[in-house]
Amino acid sequence: MSKPRSHLFLLSNAFNKDLKFTNKEISVIVHWFKQIIGLFVGILCGAIPFTGFVGFLIFGAICVSLTTFYYTKLLEVEDGDFKWELMQEGFMSALAIFVITWILVYNIYHV
Protein backbone atom coordinates (compact mmCIF):
# COMPACT_ATOMS: atom_id res chain seq x y z
CA MET A 1 0.00 0.00 0.00
CA SER A 2 1.36 3.39 -0.95
CA LYS A 3 1.74 6.28 1.45
CA PRO A 4 -1.15 8.79 1.25
CA ARG A 5 -0.22 12.07 -0.38
CA SER A 6 -0.60 15.30 1.58
CA HIS A 7 -3.23 17.92 0.82
CA LEU A 8 -0.50 20.41 -0.05
CA PHE A 9 0.98 17.99 -2.60
CA LEU A 10 -2.46 17.37 -4.10
CA LEU A 11 -3.27 21.06 -4.40
CA SER A 12 0.11 22.01 -5.83
CA ASN A 13 -0.19 19.25 -8.45
CA ALA A 14 -3.93 19.58 -9.11
CA PHE A 15 -3.39 20.76 -12.69
CA ASN A 16 -0.60 18.30 -13.51
CA LYS A 17 -2.05 15.98 -16.17
CA ASP A 18 0.86 13.54 -15.80
CA LEU A 19 -0.18 12.46 -12.29
CA LYS A 20 -3.00 10.00 -11.72
CA PHE A 21 -5.17 10.55 -8.67
CA THR A 22 -7.39 8.17 -6.74
CA ASN A 23 -11.08 9.00 -6.32
CA LYS A 24 -10.46 10.08 -2.72
CA GLU A 25 -7.64 12.39 -3.83
CA ILE A 26 -9.84 13.88 -6.55
CA SER A 27 -12.53 14.54 -3.94
CA VAL A 28 -10.00 16.35 -1.72
CA ILE A 29 -8.78 18.46 -4.65
CA VAL A 30 -12.31 19.40 -5.73
CA HIS A 31 -13.27 20.23 -2.13
CA TRP A 32 -10.42 22.72 -1.70
CA PHE A 33 -10.85 24.02 -5.26
CA LYS A 34 -14.43 24.98 -4.39
CA GLN A 35 -13.33 26.72 -1.18
CA ILE A 36 -10.96 28.89 -3.23
CA ILE A 37 -13.72 29.58 -5.76
CA GLY A 38 -16.07 30.60 -2.93
CA LEU A 39 -13.50 33.02 -1.54
CA PHE A 40 -12.77 34.72 -4.87
CA VAL A 41 -16.40 34.89 -6.01
CA GLY A 42 -17.34 36.35 -2.60
CA ILE A 43 -14.72 39.05 -3.03
CA LEU A 44 -15.96 39.71 -6.58
CA CYS A 45 -19.65 39.92 -5.62
CA GLY A 46 -18.93 42.13 -2.63
CA ALA A 47 -16.71 44.52 -4.56
CA ILE A 48 -18.99 44.91 -7.61
CA PRO A 49 -21.66 45.21 -5.45
CA PHE A 50 -24.21 42.53 -6.11
CA THR A 51 -27.16 42.15 -3.76
CA GLY A 52 -29.83 39.53 -3.37
CA PHE A 53 -30.35 36.42 -5.41
CA VAL A 54 -28.04 37.55 -8.23
CA GLY A 55 -24.96 36.91 -6.10
CA PHE A 56 -26.06 33.36 -5.34
CA LEU A 57 -26.74 32.71 -9.02
CA ILE A 58 -23.28 33.98 -9.95
CA PHE A 59 -21.64 31.78 -7.30
CA GLY A 60 -23.61 28.72 -8.40
CA ALA A 61 -22.88 29.25 -12.08
CA ILE A 62 -19.15 29.85 -11.57
CA CYS A 63 -18.76 27.00 -9.08
CA VAL A 64 -20.59 24.46 -11.25
CA SER A 65 -18.93 25.49 -14.50
CA LEU A 66 -15.35 25.55 -13.13
CA THR A 67 -15.82 22.25 -11.29
CA THR A 68 -17.29 20.60 -14.38
CA PHE A 69 -14.48 21.92 -16.55
CA TYR A 70 -11.87 20.69 -14.07
CA TYR A 71 -13.06 17.12 -13.76
CA THR A 72 -14.08 16.60 -17.39
CA LYS A 73 -11.27 18.35 -19.27
CA LEU A 74 -8.30 18.11 -16.91
CA LEU A 75 -8.97 14.93 -14.96
CA GLU A 76 -11.06 13.21 -17.66
CA VAL A 77 -13.41 11.55 -15.14
CA GLU A 78 -15.85 9.24 -16.92
CA ASP A 79 -17.96 7.75 -14.09
CA GLY A 80 -21.37 9.47 -13.99
CA ASP A 81 -22.06 8.65 -10.34
CA PHE A 82 -18.66 9.97 -9.29
CA LYS A 83 -19.27 13.19 -11.25
CA TRP A 84 -22.40 13.85 -9.18
CA GLU A 85 -20.41 13.10 -6.01
CA LEU A 86 -17.78 15.64 -7.10
CA MET A 87 -20.45 18.25 -7.78
CA GLN A 88 -21.68 17.92 -4.20
CA GLU A 89 -18.23 17.67 -2.62
CA GLY A 90 -17.49 20.75 -0.51
CA PHE A 91 -20.39 22.78 -1.91
CA MET A 92 -21.99 23.80 1.39
CA SER A 93 -18.74 24.87 3.01
CA ALA A 94 -17.82 26.78 -0.17
CA LEU A 95 -21.24 28.45 -0.04
CA ALA A 96 -20.60 29.48 3.57
CA ILE A 97 -17.18 30.93 2.68
CA PHE A 98 -18.76 32.75 -0.27
CA VAL A 99 -21.52 34.31 1.85
CA ILE A 100 -19.18 35.39 4.66
CA THR A 101 -16.70 36.91 2.20
CA TRP A 102 -19.46 38.56 0.19
CA ILE A 103 -20.95 40.18 3.29
CA LEU A 104 -17.59 41.34 4.65
CA VAL A 105 -16.34 42.82 1.38
CA TYR A 106 -19.68 44.46 0.62
CA ASN A 107 -19.79 46.07 4.07
CA ILE A 108 -16.17 47.23 3.90
CA TYR A 109 -16.57 48.94 0.51
CA HIS A 110 -20.20 50.04 0.32
CA VAL A 111 -21.59 50.64 3.80
For residue 12, the tally of other CB atoms under 10 A from its CB is 10
pLDDT digits (tens, 9 = 90+) for 42-89: 999 999 999 999 999 999 999 999 988 888 888 777 777 777 888 888
Query: Average pLDDT, whole number, for the chain?
Result: 88
**pTM assigned to the model:** 0.87
Average pLDDT, integer, range 27-37: 91
Residue 32 domain-assigned (yes or no): yes
Name the residue among 55, 51, 45, 46 with its Cα closest to residue 108.
46
CA gap 4, 103 in Å, rounded:
37
Domain that holds residue 78: 24-110
Residue 61 domain-assigned (yes or no): yes
Residue 56 domain-assigned (yes or no): yes
Residue 6 domain-assigned (yes or no): no
Residue 103 domain-assigned (yes or no): yes
Question: Is pLDDT above 60 for 1?
Answer: no
Residue 5 domain-assigned (yes or no): no
CA gap 98, 79 in Å, rounded:
29
Domain total in the chain: 1
